[in-house]
Amino acid sequence: MSEAPLLEVVDLVKTYRLPRTSPFTPHGRRPALAGVSFSIVAGHSSGIVGESGSGKSTLARIALALDKPDSGAVRLEGRSLFDLPHHELRALRAHMQMIFQDPYGSLDPRQRVERIVAEPLAALGAAGRAERSARVAASLEAVGLRASDASKYPHEFSGGQRQRIAIARALITRPKLVVADEPVSALDVSVQAQALNLMSDLQQQAGVTFLLISHDLAVVAHICETTAVMYRGRIVEIGPTEELFGAPAHPYTRELVDATPRFDRPTRVAPAAEGRNGLETTGCPYAARCAFAQSRCLKEAPDLEDLAGRARRAACWFPLT
């Protein structure tokens, strides 16, 4: 059992139906995930980066069985989530939790912190009242809040503290995997640092493994050992974070790295024009935007392949490194 990866995602495909443009036309379809596979080993947090519409949030929802894929499998410690009977899936949910982006929208303003943080326990039908209070207190203390904060309401806290409450809620079932979808992007810089330090601590002390979804490369690089870059429902590059951002192999990764504002050099803008929304059926999905595209890129779609001599895979005919 210990040999199985903590999370394994196999060939996920998910297509959303678009609204009709007129009553007489068929529904359009938009592939959100077009065959995504990767795995996370316990203790090795992974990041997913990509622009809006790349499918990263869809992936997060499916990884937690909050949504079903059209095809493909998700396995948590070797157990396939979509093949489990309902009650077993429910029990398994204790091992996987989610942190949402918005610390204002994800906490019910009418509930006391105690009830908010204990909610996953209630949903699992576990624990008596005394144990529940003890675990809420422990969970709050783990994120640097006071046990006495349990009797307060969310509005009595600042944005950063609210995100801590959301993290405390995710931690109360002592999960092995926490999926965090843009956990710090709504926070101010000074408060964001607290949340990121807390996530680092939880990795080291509580043994939590994160699947972190973010558009901010610096945030991902701060937490994750491995990073996958998504573009239009596909992973276009995956590998050790530092290496990936240091020497991108896929032109899209390079575009992301270059576009990230930093203090030590001006941002660079990729020479290609902003992509159209057409979904090409043949060829590399990034070819229309790619500054390095050649004729082969327009005809054949590259698969995610190992880069020679590196612990990295990229879906590109002409990788940059």
Partner 1 sequence: MLLEVSNLAVDLMGTAGAQRIVSGGTFALDEGESLGVVGESGSGKTMTALALMGLTPENARVSGSIRFEGRELTGLREEAMLALRGDRIAMIFQEPMTALNPLHRVGAQVAEPLVLHRGMTREAAFDRAVQLLDHVRLADPERAARAYPFALSGGERQRAMIAMAIGCSPRLVIADEPTTALDVTVQARILALIDGLRAESGMALMLVSHDLAVVAGHCDRVIVMYAGLIMESGPVEVVLREPKNPYTRALLEARPQPGASRGRRLRTIPGSPPIHHEIGAGCPFAGRCDLTIDICRTTPPPEVRFSADRLSRCHRAREMGSLNMRTGA
CB nearer partner 1, residue 2 or residue 190: 190
At closest approach, how far in Å is the CB of 271 from partner 1?
Answer: 11
CB nearer partner 1, residue 65 or residue 157: 157
At closest approach, how far in Å is the CB of 165 from partner 1?
Answer: 14
At closest approach, how far in Å is the CB of 83 from partner 1?
Answer: 35
CB nearer partner 1, residue 32 or residue 256: 256
CB nearer partner 1, residue 72 or residue 160: 160
At closest approach, how far in Å is the CB of 247 from partner 1?
Answer: 12
Q: What is the largest CA-CA distance in the chain?
A: 67
CB nearer partner 1, residue 181 or residue 255: 255
Distance CA 113, CA 285 (A): 46
Instruction: Kindly list the residues in this chain that would bind partner 1 in the complex (CB under 8 A).
Output: 51-52, 158-161, 188-194, 196-197, 200, 203-204, 215-219, 221-225, 241-242, 245-246, 255-264, 266-270, 273-274, 276-277
Distance CA 283, CA 289 (A): 12
3-state helix, strand, coil in the chain (%, to 5): 35, 20, 45
- State residue 182 phi and psi, 5-degree precision: 50, 55
CB nearer partner 1, residue 64 or residue 202: 202
Question: Cα dist. 40→47, 48, 136, 157, 189 in Å?
Answer: 10, 12, 28, 34, 29
At closest approach, how far in Å is the CB of 292 from partner 1?
Answer: 15
CB nearer partner 1, residue 129 or residue 276: 276
At closest approach, how far in Å is the CB of 255 from partner 1?
Answer: 6
Structure tokens given for 82: 């979509």
At closest approach, how far in Å is the CB of 199 from partner 1?
Answer: 9
- Dihedral sign from CA coordinates of 44, 47, 48, 50: negative
Using the CB atoms, write b or e for 77-112: b if 16+ within 10 Å.
Answer: bebebeeeeeeeeeeebbbbbbbbbbbeebbeeeee
Question: Cα dist. 42→25, 46, 208 in Å?
Answer: 47, 10, 8
CB atoms within 10 A of CB 20: 11
